[in-house]
Amino acid sequence: MNIGLSDLFGFDDVPDDVKSAALMIAARTMTLDETLDFDMDPRGVIPDAILARTWGMVSEQMKFVIGHEFAHHRLGHLAEGAIPYRAARSPSLSSVERGWLAAKRSWEHEYEADLGALEALTDPSKKLHITIGAIQFFLCLIFFEEVFEGLDAGLKEVDTHPPTEERLRRIVFKFGYFAVCVGGLVSVHLPVAQDVVR
């Protein structure tokens, strides 16, 4: 997906056939209609320099995701006494009430873990690169959600996570990186996803 959306990330050196093939593979992989033998895939040959840059981007995105999950642990979100844990097991609430309370509380936890993943970084250069990775991750996630919703609105998961656009906004406003351009990137992102669905 990073290769297909490379224009949004400021890179204009990816051949059009490679971008379109990458977006199609990403969309088909999301819907479980794609085999995972990418190394043997004949659709679009990725130049070595672009492939190396893409792996670097994926590395920074994964560091954010792993930091986010670790932040849940560090912030006590997974403790037995945490609200979602208790709410999911409370006999005094209906199953709908337990689910709603757990999901609502988990939204706060998701926001906290997003910020906690980046606040834990003390090296300014690492913080910058992983913040960029977080922004790219959320832009890819917006694309993913748009493709799924375009195919079948019923495929959307239960809202255990807050809206991706809001998570992205909070990161941008908290850390101040790319505050000017991210709004434009999100508005460009949605039509791209809609084109893939068509």
HEC letters along 147-175: HHHHHCHHHCCCCCCCCHHHHHHHHHHHH
- Please give the tally of structural domains in the chain: 1
171 in any annotated domain: yes
58 in any annotated domain: yes
137-158: average pLDDT: 72
Distance from chain centroid for Cα 96: 27
The alpha-helical segments, DSSP class H, found in the chain are 16-30, 48-74, 83-89, 95-119, 124-151, 164-175, 179-197
Q: Is pLDDT larger for residue 150 or for residue 113?
A: 113
Looking at residue 82, its pLDDT comes to 58
Give 173's pLDDT tier (boundaries 50, 70, 90): confident
Residue 14: name the closest of 37, 40, 39, 45 by CA: 45
User: With a threshold of 0.95, does the pTM exceed it?
Assistant: no
Give 66's pLDDT tier (boundaries 50, 70, 90): very high
Query: 13-17, 70-74, 82-86, 123-127 — which is least confidently predicted?
Result: 82-86
190 in any annotated domain: yes
67 in any annotated domain: yes
Looking at residue 62, its pLDDT comes to 96
139-154: average pLDDT: 75
126 in any annotated domain: yes
Task: Give the domain extent around 128.
Answer: 6-72+113-197
45 in any annotated domain: yes
Looking at residue 36, its pLDDT comes to 66
Looking at residue 64, its pLDDT comes to 97
Q: Is pLDDT above 80 for 68?
A: yes
87 in any annotated domain: no
158 in any annotated domain: yes
